[in-house]
Structure 1
Amino acid sequence: MHDKNGVGLSVLEQCRILKLPRATYYERRRFEAERQKKKAGENKTRLNRAKIVINEWSTHSTYGYKKMSKHLKRLGYDWAGEKFIRNLYKELGIKGQKPVFKTTRSGKAPYGKFPYLLRNKLIAFPNQVMATDITYIKTPWGMMYFTAVIDLYSRKILSWRLSDSMRTDFCLECVREAFEKYGVPAVFNTDCGSQYTSGEFIGLLKSYNVEISMDGIGRCKDNIFVERTWRTLKYEWIFLRDYRSEEELRKLLGEFVRFFNNERIHQGLDYKTPDEVYREGSFPSAIINKMAA
């Protein structure tokens, strides 16, 4: 406040003109100072939390706000409610990526094809049903092929192999390793690719007395959990990282398997990791029924 000559008035003069006690003036100044300090603290806290979310999103870029909220709470960040993460995603202009599924080509079946056994089947415990498939990885030096055996109850990757060709033997090695390390399943599901309809592959499964199940032609959803694993592999891992040799790619894949089994939470597993569900051997029946549908 200034007088008619532009000279600033003292606090005493201002209070006299406004007919306010000086205590009120100082109380208001104290209140404003505390409010600004509180606001600055809140902004700093929000900025620090935003940095945490951005850091986690950089390695979990397919997580929508709901899954990111669950993930952060598992890490001990109790402030990471769905509403907060949703608003922060909107503010930062980020969202979970939505990759697409690949299609599977059918191979010739000189030994016949087997029926699909998993429709409406209740998968109720680990090692009851295992599945496998092959996915393509385009590299600077040519195409590479990745295969894995997955436990359908827990989504855990039990074994994996990388090859520079679509030969049958690397698929056989992958299956043998899974059976030797984790036991033989009741049912084993594949697609109708030539590797899986070959005499060698069918003979291996029959030698273990395993029931053989095969996806319908053109029905990638019959092997949906394996397809989702490939999606995660590519969009949360391979496409976000650099590799310059087969050795580096192989190391990268090993790191992915450890991450996928031990760290990555799944909505369909009640926001647990595959390894947790595999070891515990149980999770809500509603989830089991959803898997089997």
Structure 2
Amino acid sequence: MLDYTEQQSLRAYKGIKIGRDKFYRVMRINNLLVPKTKRFHITTDSKHRFFKYKNLIKNKVPSRPEQLWVSDITYIKTQSGHSYLVLFTEAYSKQIMGYKLASHIRTSLCVDALKMALKNRKYKNQKLIHHSDRGIQYCNPLYTSFAEQNGILMSMTEKYDPYENAIAERINRTLKYEYDLKRTIKNTKLAKKMVKRALEIYNNKRPHFSLKLNTPNFVHLNKNVDYHSYKRNKQNLGVLTI
């Protein structure tokens, strides 16, 4: 599969103008894509006794930076086993605000990533929604209490549907396929270095078609781009009002 730089080079060839999604559709129709591997490592355990919050963002999209954060846990393969990466993404600008990579999947993994995201806030006096799946880490009272003490409103998916947390799912995929995080890495120490570098490029150098070819960091600071939704049905979407 072509990476982002290769797609840019192809797009510039002879004045061809084509978006990433259409490019992939053309490749798929002609059987030129590498077949996807099955997801075999589960990172979400929603069968637990903890309280599950309602979905506050169903059919809604953000209208400003730091109105909505989405979070998800994925895994990075290493030669000694799996490491786990949690990301906090600012939905309006697609900027990754906080993250944590570790060899465990305990609640503290999410707490540490949330602490980083809070530290990186630019608009600290505005109300903020935190949206995630119903995994045990996000529902653990140790985690939810910390989030609510910092003035965050909790929101969760109602069922397992990637489009209920589409931004988080898409960014996980982008990081793995465009920044070589899909492969088996030597160890967690090296994986941390690769993740840090990937996020620096993603936030500050990689232009996004959904952001009119601006970077997440630029949009996060300038608020100048209409929001682009990844949901399949975009006709009935409202705007978050908090």
TM-score tier, shorter chain, comes to 0.7 to 0.9
Per-residue Cα deviation, 1:3-35 (whole angstroms, up to 9, x for no partner): xxxxxxxxxxxxxxxxxxxxxxxxxxxxxxxxx
Q: Which moved more, 1:244-253 or 1:138-147?
A: 244-253
Q: Paired residues, what number?
A: 221
Aligned partner (choices 180, 186, 191) of residue 119 of structure 2 = 180
Matches within 5 A, 1:191-230: 191-230=133-172
Q: Any conservation in 2 of the 1:124–1:288 contact (CA below 8 Å)?
A: no
Change (3 A) 1:211 1:264: same
Higher relative contact order (Cα pairs below 8 Å, separated by 6+ residues): 2
Letter paired with 2:214 = K
Q: Which has the larger radius of gyration?
A: 1
Correspondence for 1:81: 16
- Counterpart secondary structure, 1:195: helix
Q: Any conservation in 2 of the 1:61–1:96 contact (CA below 8 Å)?
A: no
Give unpaired runs (5+ residues) of structure 1. Answer: 1-56
Correspondence for 2:188: 246
Correspondence for 2:224: 282
Letter paired with 2:92 = Y
The structure carrying a bigger helix percent of its residues is 1
1:133 Cα deviation from its structure 2 partner: 1.1
Q: Any conservation in 2 of the 1:62–1:235 contact (CA below 8 Å)?
A: no
Correspondence for 2:199: 257
Provide the C-alpha distance between the structure 1 equivalents of 2:149 and 2:70, rounded to a whole number of angstroms: 17
- Counterpart secondary structure, 1:216: coil
1:174 Cα deviation from its structure 2 partner: 0.8
Give the percent of matched residue pairs that are identical in Structure 1 and Structure 2.
24
- Counterpart secondary structure, 1:115: coil
Letter paired with 2:210 = G
Correspondence for 1:131: 70
Letter paired with 1:60 = Y
Change (3 A) 1:197 1:242: closer
Q: Any conservation in 2 of the 1:114–1:214 contact (CA below 8 Å)?
A: yes
Letter paired with 2:206 = R
1:125 Cα deviation from its structure 2 partner: 0.6
Letter paired with 2:82 = M
Provide the C-alpha distance between the structure 2 equivalents of 1:225 and 1:267, rounded to a whole number of angstroms: 14
Provide the C-alpha distance between the structure 2 equivalents of 1:188 and 1:62, rounded to a whole number of angstroms: 35
Provide the C-alpha distance between the structure 2 equivalents of 1:292 and 1:105, rounded to a whole number of angstroms: 29
Q: Any conservation in 1 of the 2:44–2:136 contact (CA below 8 Å)?
A: no
Per-residue Cα deviation, 1:163-216 (whole angstroms, up to 9, x for no partner): 111111121011012112213752111111110110101111221232110012
Aligned partner (choices 32, 49, 53) of residue 110 of structure 1 = 49
RMSD: 3.4
Q: Any conservation in 1 of the 2:181–2:194 contact (CA below 8 Å)?
A: no
1:144 aligns with 2:83: yes
Q: Which moved more, 1:161-170 or 1:215-224?
A: 215-224
1:109 Cα deviation from its structure 2 partner: 4.0
Per-residue Cα deviation, 1:123-172 (whole angstroms, up to 9, x for no partner): 11100001111001121110100011110001101111111111111210
Q: TM-score, normalised by structure 1?
A: 0.65
Letter paired with 1:249 = A
Aligned partner (choices 192, 213, 217) of residue 271 of structure 1 = 213
Provide the C-alpha distance between the structure 2 equivalents of 1:117 and 1:219, rounded to a whole number of angstroms: 16
Correspondence for 1:232: 174
Q: TM-score, normalised by structure 2?
A: 0.77
Change (3 A) 1:262 1:199: same
- Counterpart secondary structure, 2:158: coil
Give unpaired runs (5+ residues) of structure 2. Answer: 238-242
Provide the C-alpha distance between the structure 1 equivalents of 2:205 and 2:67, rounded to a whole number of angstroms: 23
Q: Any conservation in 1 of the 2:203–2:215 contact (CA below 8 Å)?
A: yes
Provide the C-alpha distance between the structure 1 equivalents of 2:176 and 2:229, rounded to a whole number of angstroms: 26
Correspondence for 1:159: 98
